[in-house]
Amino acid sequence: GAVVSQHPSRVICKSGTSVKIECRSLDFQATTMFWYRQFPKQSLMLMATSNEGSKATYEQGVEKDKFLINHASLTLSTLTVTSAHPEDSSFYICSASPGTGYEQYFGPGTRLTVT
Amino acid sequence: QKEVEQDPGPLSVPEGAIVSLNCTYSNSAFQYFMWYRQYSRKGPELLMYTYSSGNKEDGRFTAQVDKSSKYISLFIRDSQPSDSATYLCAMIDDYKLSFGAGTTVTVRA
């Protein structure tokens, strides 16, 4: 149980375009979903927290207009990287929690490359 | 100073050895302590979590928490090549997870 999927697993896009990443909890309802990014050989950095039906809470330094998060249902959250630039290239990982966040189950990640 | 400090290694051990990993932290508000395993280009997988000080054992894995010293450890007994991965400690304050940098472990056959 507690499976979280992400789609796509890998995406390459041109600078200036937007990219949407989906995160789904497959066998449980996720009250809370989290988005992280991870640079090579570095740890995961929390970008934002989203609760179903409400606006996401962004961490300090994360541009909410650039990283749009929608938690449309209890099993789906999306992250849209708008007007992507090469510095946005990273590994984006979502996690989902059936509660308030003590148990988080991670997706397999999405590798974004912006050329 | 980072909230969670973890030596990134790398750590290389022969098969069958005990792997010892640890993290220190500065935030006394951390309540839950976790260890995640992350294979290359994959998301983290929860190995163990604990709430209180003391030991918790699960198969070949033992997690220790010492809240008075703000120090947590993970031990892997009888290590196998399949244990080769990056191990991340993580801690929760309220709902927010703070991760250590991760220690890369290689178990040599």
Task: Say whether B41 and A102 touch across the interface (CB within 8 A).
Answer: no
Per-residue pLDDT of chain B (109 residues; tens, 9 = 90+): 678 999 888 999 999 999 999 999 999 888 889 999 999 888 899 898 888 788 999 999 999 999 999 999 999 999 999 999 999 999 988 778 889 999 999 999 9
Q: Which of residues 59-88 of A touch B (CB under 8 A)?
A: none
Give the contacts of A61 (CB within 8 A, at least 6 positions apart).
none
> What residues of A are in contact with residue B95 (Cβ under 8 Å)?
32, 49, 97, 100-102
Phi, psi angle pair for A88, to nearest 5°: -85, -5
User: Are the Cβ atoms of A32 and B88 closer than 8 angstroms?
Assistant: no
Instruction: List b or e across B34-57, with b for residues whose CB sees 16 or more CB atoms inside 10 angstroms.
Output: bbbbbeeebbbebbbbbeeeeeee
Among the partner residues A41, A103, A109, nearest to B42 by beta-carbon distance: A109
A110 pLDDT more than 90: yes
Q: Do B43 and A97 touch (CB under 8 A)?
A: no
Contact list, A41 vs chain B (CB under 8 Å): 8
Residue to substitute from A43, A45, A49, interface B, most B β-carbons within 10 A: A43
Per-residue model confidence as pLDDT tens digits over A17-51: 999 999 999 999 998 999 999 988 788 899 999 98
Do the Cβ atoms of B65 and B58 come closer than 8 Å? no
**pLDDT tens sequence across A42-82:** 888 999 999 887 889 999 999 999 999 998 899 999 999 99
Q: Report d(CA A107, CA A84) in Å as an integer.
A: 22
Q: In angstroms, what is the C-alpha Rg of chain B? A: 13
